[in-house]
A and B are shown apart, each in its own frame.
Chain A
Amino acid sequence: MASELTLTVNGAKQVVSVTPETPLLYVLRNDLKLTGPRFGCGLAQCGACAVLVDGQEVRSCIAPVSSAVGMRVTTIEGLPGVWAAQKGLSAADAANTLHPVQQAWIDEQVPQCGYCQSGMMIAAVQLLAKHPNPSVAEIKDAFTNTPPSPHLCRCGTYAAIIDAVQRAAKAMAA
């Protein structure tokens, strides 16, 4: 049965009427029209659906929406807001900014098809929160060995991702 659940997504309170076991991914995409997170495997094996829940990466394809009630959900659409809050930017400046991770993804021309990159940027934001200046080995380790699965890219953009994470690290430290 559908229930009314209150979520905080990208800084805004949202009330949705869904069955509580519905995976967060479908609520974000279909009810809240946030299409950044994408369906990849439905098995938490690829990372295309990754979002941040209270700053921790969660695979939204298997996480029930009920598990996110009372917590802060962030998709790539909300990354500029995260950065603006972190830097204390004015609302006007915040509207015209991107998170340094997103800017680095543009500057390094990371996406090929781009389908997995939403999840890759989420993983990068989480990594940089813990390790502001990661080495190549630490980046590889984070994108491969962080549970529940490696972040997979079929276009093979891993080298570009490493370049972009290091570029973002520099920008965030500046």
Chain B
Amino acid sequence: MLTRRGFVKVGGALFVSLGLPAGSRGSLEQTSLDPNQLTSWLEIRNDNSILVRTGRAEIGTGMSGFYAQVIAEELSVRPEAITLIMGDTDKTPDGGYSAGFLSGAANLRKVGAYTYQALLGLAAKQLGVPATALTVADAIVSGGGKSVSYGQLVQGLHLDLKIPVTGKSAKFATAGANGVAGLDWEGMDGLIVAGDPPMKPVSQYKVVGTSFPVPGIPDKVSGKTHWSCDVRLPGMLHARMVRPATLGSTLISVGEVDKKRFPAAEVVRKGNLLAVVSPNEWEAIRAAQAVAAATKWTAWSGLPGSENLTKTLREYKWGAPDQSRGNAADVTAALTNAPKTISVSYEQPYVKHAPIGPFLAVADVRSDETVIVWTHSAHSQALRARIANMLGTRVEKVVVRWLEHAGQFGRTTFGGDGAEADAAILSQLTGKPVRVQWTLQDDLAWSATSPGWVSDIKAGFDTHGRLTALHSVFYSPHMLDARPLGAILAGMPAGTTKPGGFLATEWPYDKIENRLEQVYATPNIGTQPGAESPTGGLRGLIMRTPGQRQQNFALESLINEAAAATHADPIQFRLRHTTDTRLIDILNATAKAAGWETRPSPHPNARRSGSDAMSGRGVCIMVRAGSYWVGIAEVAVTPATGVVQVTKFTIGVECGKIINPRQLDRCMKGGLVMGLGEALKEEVTFDKEKVTSTDWSRYRILTMQEMPEIKVVQISRDDKGFGGGGEAPNALAPPAVAAAFFDATGVQPRRIPLTPAYVTTLLKG
């Protein structure tokens, strides 16, 4: 594995370079690092500090800390010694999307493990001690009564360690794959470090499992972080977009800039992409408002209105399912023969990623056709491929530089749907660097959106009240339209989008013998033949815990209804339908922590009217990415007002080996807050023309006062590897809160959000 090419004075650094297997050179065009040089994943400095490069980015979940922890573990160094360079297509080797630890850290762990072996080999030679007799702590290798630091080992040394790599960089594909508009599925993960280097056994972990502080936090707190919104370039113009009047309007005439009021402002237009630019940001804002008021757009009214979403989905002529899992014949037979069945439908609205910082980007399209884009996209390589395709230039001409910005919860996993296309087009047209800052209204009205769903579930029981068959059918607009809005509006290449529904549920109930799950997807709402929106209609996109969030709401609500239908305690009912000890253990631990009283729902005193608050409790579970969660909600429902208050929420999480207990606690509580917003408040509203929930008074997320007491129970397991622990608690809130509402009132909510208006209607029956 280790080849030494000789000793060269290179400032005392050990470079671990990117080596590509023969025959894969084509993929090099997607990365700016030249593998023939000692381009690096990792550099060890004389002072034992270590620089690590990854194409993944910090997306606000503490990932930069987790990466440092697992690399430090493999290298036997302190995590403080590690500095990360992230998400820059010029300076990082691998690409890939930043959606979580599991996919993001795999490369770095292996690179760390390969490097560790190389360093042991070097130390063995230098110390004259067999590698097997060496020990390492905090970058000091010891053996035979002697010791040497990593920094000393690599002093004056040029070590060429080849890292085997497979996979591909992100690549544009017009039709997309798996339904992802404009992106080849193959390059989603970027380059992948291959092979099987010896990894540190869990029993020897010193850093993983501790609450290592996230490295970027001190700078964020003191105001030193350089965010993507802070990029300022010489000669840069500020831009504000003037968006079409409706989701399907085209431009008739452009309002003029009043040069007396706005002397430096200019209108820039390409197709239906319209903006006002100025060197002065406030002038750009004011002039854009004036231009917008005087600009004329065609009329369009191709949306159904959010109040008609379910009806619209019901009326759609569905063909074959996009995905189907399970045995249709067995399920049909079991349901037919079951002595008792229940049939239930559930609904969920469109919801938004809704970052606190609206999207922005800076682009500099230079006269030599070099394009530099500053972004906070979670997939720099995919964004680069999209921008190159849109501008009709080679991918090597485009550099994407990632910087931190507001959490966006999956909106840029596929590298699209940001302000980067707007910025690149405007920079190309003006010949200057352009900073595009979307307004909150732009972001809430025009960004891609996690679509609404309807689900039909039929369940069959045996004579003992056990579930014997379950048939789940999910319908929704698809959620893989990651085309950049700017490209669509400007009429530039953005790829096409086609429906692609996917089954996301990981099945926890192995004792339910017969199951069939089917998922169907429509094109975007607002693109029906005859009224097709030229701007893509309501573009659907994934959001935190995608697919499973929606499917688990339906599945777990059904399980709660099934427990109630058989007068069973909902936790006992679940325990009877699984043999998975990981699930059983976390269910029992969470129930204990929550003080769960074993009894069926609803509560004997449940009431659907009156002005006193009724209390109730409910449970749900989820299995995803090698992890298990349990959510137990306690609510107070006031029937007379329809107000639902979540008073306490207990989360149980078992995600294999826990990397950072404090950050896991933070991710659980934060995710739950987001999910409670979905359960109680969040809904994208739209009329026949446009989205109408375009500020925080109309797209309402949870406030601090609405946050319940939250308790988190963690189980760490040394024998199950790492799971994806942080993402999913948002999906725990809706089914648990709905179940608690049922416990309090005896009425099962089958849609969210549980707003006072909906609750009042629901309780009136």
Chain A contacts to B: CB under 8 angstroms: 18-19, 22-23, 26, 29-30, 34-36, 38-43, 45-46, 48, 75-77, 80, 98, 102, 105-106, 109-118, 121, 139-141, 143-145, 149-162
B662 & A155 in contact (Cβ 8 Å cutoff):
no
The answer to whether the Cβ of B121 comes within 8 Å of any Cβ in the partner chain is no
A38 & B703 in contact (Cβ 8 Å cutoff):
no
Min CB distance B434 to A, Å, is: 15
A41 & B214 in contact (Cβ 8 Å cutoff):
no
B222 & A77 in contact (Cβ 8 Å cutoff):
yes
Given the interface contacts A75-B223, A106-B213, A150-B704, does A26 sit within 8 Å of B229 by beta carbon? no
Min CB distance A18 to B, Å, is: 8
B669 & A109 in contact (Cβ 8 Å cutoff):
no
B223 & A34 in contact (Cβ 8 Å cutoff):
yes
A152 & B356 in contact (Cβ 8 Å cutoff):
yes
Give B698-741 as 1s and 0s: 1 = Cβ < 8 Å from A's Cβ atoms: 00011111110010000000000000000000000000000000
Closest-by-CB residue of A relative to B230 is A35
Partner of A155, one of B226, B407, B440, B704: B407
Residues of A within 8 A of B439 (CB): 42
For the complex, give the distance between the alpha carbons of A111 and B667 in Å. 11
The answer to whether the Cβ of B405 comes within 8 Å of any Cβ in the partner chain is yes
Closest-by-CB residue of A relative to B707 is A158
For the complex, give the distance between the alpha carbons of A46 and B695 in Å. 10
The answer to whether the Cβ of B220 comes within 8 Å of any Cβ in the partner chain is yes
Give B21-42 as 1s and 0s: 1 = Cβ < 8 Å from A's Cβ atoms: 0000000000000000000000
Query: Which residues 622-661 in B have Cβ within 8 Å of A in the complex?
Result: none
Residues of A within 8 A of B356 (CB): 40, 46, 48, 113, 115-116, 152-154
B229 & A39 in contact (Cβ 8 Å cutoff):
yes
The answer to whether the Cβ of B672 comes within 8 Å of any Cβ in the partner chain is yes
B669 & A26 in contact (Cβ 8 Å cutoff):
no
For the complex, give the distance between the alpha carbons of A125 and B673 in Å. 24
A113 & B282 in contact (Cβ 8 Å cutoff):
no
Query: Which residues 209-238 in B have Cβ within 8 Å of A in the complex?
Result: 211, 213-214, 216-218, 220-223, 225-227, 229-230, 232
For the complex, give the distance between the alpha carbons of A143 and B404 in Å. 25
Residues of A within 8 A of B216 (CB): 111, 114
A45 & B221 in contact (Cβ 8 Å cutoff):
no
B707 & A154 in contact (Cβ 8 Å cutoff):
no
For the complex, give the distance between the alpha carbons of A34 and B404 in Å. 17
A45 & B695 in contact (Cβ 8 Å cutoff):
yes
Min CB distance A71 to B, Å, is: 20
Compute the total of residue contacts between A and B using a CB distance below 8 Å: 175
Partner of B217, one of A43, A75, A114, A150: A114
Q: Interface-forming stretch among B56-64, B177-185, B424-432?
A: B56-64
B704 & A161 in contact (Cβ 8 Å cutoff):
yes
B704 & A35 in contact (Cβ 8 Å cutoff):
no
Given the interface contacts A45-B696, A106-B213, A154-B406, does A114 sit within 8 Å of B282 by beta carbon? no
The answer to whether the Cβ of B670 comes within 8 Å of any Cβ in the partner chain is yes
For the complex, give the distance between the alpha carbons of A39 and B360 in Å. 11
For the complex, give the distance between the alpha carbons of A45 and B704 in Å. 14
Min CB distance B59 to A, Å, is: 7
Min CB distance B375 to A, Å, is: 15
Partner of B357, one of A39, A76, A105, A141: A39
Closest-by-CB residue of B relative to A45 is B696
Residues of A within 8 A of B705 (CB): 140-141, 143-145, 150
The answer to whether the Cβ of B671 comes within 8 Å of any Cβ in the partner chain is yes
Partner of A76, one of B222, B281, B707: B222
Partner of B662, one of A35, A109, A111: A109
For the complex, give the distance between the alpha carbons of A73 and B126 in Å. 60
Partner of B282, one of A22, A43, A105: A22
The answer to whether the Cβ of B697 comes within 8 Å of any Cβ in the partner chain is yes
B230 & A23 in contact (Cβ 8 Å cutoff):
no
The answer to whether the Cβ of B397 comes within 8 Å of any Cβ in the partner chain is no
Residues of B within 8 A of A143 (CB): 703-705
Given the interface contacts A111-B220, A113-B406, does A40 sit within 8 Å of B440 by beta carbon? yes
Min CB distance A21 to B, Å, is: 8
Residues of B within 8 A of A160 (CB): 666, 669-670
A26 & B704 in contact (Cβ 8 Å cutoff):
no
A118 & B223 in contact (Cβ 8 Å cutoff):
yes
Closest-by-CB residue of B relative to A80 is B222
The answer to whether the Cβ of B448 comes within 8 Å of any Cβ in the partner chain is no
Residues of B within 8 A of A152 (CB): 356, 696, 701, 703
Residues of B within 8 A of A110 (CB): 217, 221
- Among A76, A102, A156, A162, the most chain B Cβ lie within 10 Å of the Cβ of A156
For the complex, give the distance between the alpha carbons of A117 and B213 in Å. 17
20 interchain pairs, CB-CB under 8 A: A35-B227, A38-B227, A38-B357, A43-B696, A109-B214, A109-B217, A111-B217, A111-B220, A112-B61, A115-B355, A115-B405, A118-B223, A121-B221, A152-B696, A154-B407, A154-B409, A157-B669, A158-B669, A159-B707, A160-B666
Residues of A within 8 A of B706 (CB): 144
The answer to whether the Cβ of B559 comes within 8 Å of any Cβ in the partner chain is no
The answer to whether the Cβ of B663 comes within 8 Å of any Cβ in the partner chain is yes
- Among A40, A43, A112, A151, the most chain B Cβ lie within 10 Å of the Cβ of A112
Query: Which residues 350-400 in B have Cβ within 8 Å of A in the complex?
Result: 354-358
Residues of A within 8 A of B480 (CB): none
For the complex, give the distance between the alpha carbons of A149 and B356 in Å. 14
